[in-house]
């Protein structure tokens, strides 16, 4: 199982709306993430817009490809681009794991 942590930057003037949209994630988007192998997926947002994402998956690159192939991801990414100025799913700054306590 891969544990993946990544960073993105949400536009500071859009934080409240970004949080609101994530309280209302489309059911078909949640289903697509699960089907693509995304597990224990969490997003954390700092008040300056720093977004930290964490996900567990068997193969992160394969999970990304599986999501990219879905129609719902295309719609979601188009809606979310206004918060980042680009497609978030292609802009992850992945962090190196240096320690894990099992």
Residue positions annotated with a catalytic role: 22
Distance of CA 90 to the CA centre of its chain: 10
47 Cβ neighbours under 8 A, 6+ residues apart: 15
Look at residues 17, 5, 14 and name the one whose alpha carbon lies nearest to residue 48. 14
CB 76 within 8 A of CB 33: no
């Amino acid at each position: 199982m891969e544990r993946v942590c990544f960073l993105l930057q949400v536009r500071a003037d859009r934080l409240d709306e970004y949080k609101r949209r994530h309280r209302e994630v489309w059911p078909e988007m949640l289903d697509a993430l699960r089907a693509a192998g995304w597990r224990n997926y969490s997003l954390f947002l700092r008040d300056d817009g720093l977004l930290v994402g964490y996900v567990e998956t068997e193969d992160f690159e394969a999970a990304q490809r599986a999501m990219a192939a879905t129609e719902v991801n295309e719609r979601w990414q188009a809606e979310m681009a206004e918060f980042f100025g680009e497609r978030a799913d292609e802009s992850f700054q992945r962090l190196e794991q240096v320690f894990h306590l099992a």
